[in-house]
Amino acid sequence: MQRRAQRDDLSDRTDRGERCAPTDRGERRVRRAARAGGVNRALAAAAALPVLLFAAACSSDSGSDDSAGSGGTARADSGGSSASGPSASATPTVQAAAFQALPKACATLSAKTLTELVPKAKAKQGTSTDPADRASCSWSSLDNNGVKGSQFRWLNVSLLRFESDATRGAGDRLAQEYYAKQVKDAQSVAGAKGTTSQAVAGTGDQATVVRYDLKKKEGAFKQQTVVARVENVVVTVDYNGAGLAGDKTPAADTLVKGAEKAAKEAVASVRAANGEGDGGASSGGSSGQPSASASPSKSSKASSAPSASPSVSPSASPAKAAAAGASPSASAKS
């Protein structure tokens, strides 16, 4: 009985083992598969990690390059615009000079005026390397009255034109500076006595007459200097007179009126040479027509590359030259 019971029990356990064995094997396969799957996932994840890191690095580099490229382009554009900005306004401009020509200096005064101021005088053209910018003419007269003495007169007209210059400025401003210098020179002549000055009306844009007495070896001279400016041209008229060899000294007021008349005519000649009004010389019987090679008198155009302008410090100031004057003995030969 006991053995039979043991066999039955063993048979039951065997049957249960056979029934459970497939189950245990399946469970083991599941566990192995799970373990394998975890390992595979781990391996897959480990393999994918460098790829992700590489992709992220590439993406980061691409973004940096894009931003750097766009930034570089922006900086280049900004630099280009800033570089091109100043170049457009780097060249200064200046108002073009109003007058482009000068009349012939010896033709600035009418024959009538010359007869009144310097009787029987012959004109002496001054030397100039550029007649379009600088010109002068002088007349000397010695009226011999025999035993009563003689009357000496000397007249000089000097013209100086200033061209606009991008560096130095507009021609009329340069002319103003030279005008002031000429007036100052006339007021400070060495040896002058009783110097006075006053404005002259109706002669260009501005004018001043300076008068004084000057003692020379030939006698006592009465000197008158009229400095006038019209636009970018400065006109200087020097007129002096003296009674020699016992003749009486001329009246200063008469000489001043003569100098002012000559200055007005010279200014009118400058205007006429540039197409404005009538020439001063032509109004009273001309001794010569002003130059007709003038361009239009005024221009509203700005010039950034004007022609060279004359020096504002001429080698010989007309006012100082007038103080030296002309020798009466030399003028008697003419």
Lowest-confidence segment of 210-219, 279-288, 315-324 by average pLDDT: 279-288
pLDDT tens-digit series, residues 217-242? 888 999 999 999 999 999 999 999 99
Is the pLDDT at 280 greater than 80, yes or no? no
Condensed to tens digits (0 to 9), the pLDDT of residues 78-107 reads 444 444 455 555 567 888 999 999 999 999
Per-residue pLDDT band for 144 (boundaries 50, 70, 90) equals confident
Residue 170 has pLDDT above 90, yes or no: yes
Task: Give every strand in the sheet of 233-244, ordered side by side.
Answer: 122-125, 134-144, 150-161, 233-244, 219-230, 206-216, 193-199
Q: What CA–CA distances, in Å, run from 23 to 14, 27, 37, 98, 210? A: 14, 6, 20, 120, 139
Residue 292 has pLDDT above 90, yes or no: no
Sequence-distant (≥ 6) Cβ neighbours of residue 281 within 8 angstroms = 107, 108, 109, 110, 111, 265, 269, 287, 288, 289, 290
Q: Between these two residues, 122 and 245, which has the higher pLDDT value?
A: 122
3 state SS for the chain: CHHHHHHHHHHHHHHHHHHHHHHHHHHHHHHHHHHHHHHHHHHHHHHHHHHHHHHHHHHHHHHHHHHHHHHHHHHHHHHHHHHHHHHHCCCCCEECCCCCCCCCHHHCCEHHHHHHHCCCCEEEECCCCCCCCEEEEEEEEEEECHHHCEEEEEEEEEEEECCCECCCECHHHHHHHHHHHHHHHHHCCCCCEEEEEEECCCCCCEEEEEEEEEEECCEEEEEEEEEEEECCEEEEEEEEEEEECCCCCCCHHHHHHHHHHHHHHHHHHHHHHCCCCCCCHHHHCECCCCCCCCCCCCCCCEECCCCCCCCCCCCCCHHHHHHHCCCHHHHHHC
**In the structure encoding, which two tokens stand for residue 268, read together?**
């009118």
| pLDDT of res. 314 | 43
* pTM of the complete model: 0.63
Tens-place pLDDT, residues 199-223: 999 999 999 999 999 998 888 999 9
- Please report the pLDDT score of residue 124 as a whole number: 96
Percent of the chain with pLDDT over 90: 46
| Predicted confidence (pLDDT) at residue 24 exceeds the cutoff of 80 | no
Of 36-50, 74-88, 260-274, 290-304, the poorest mean pLDDT is in: 290-304
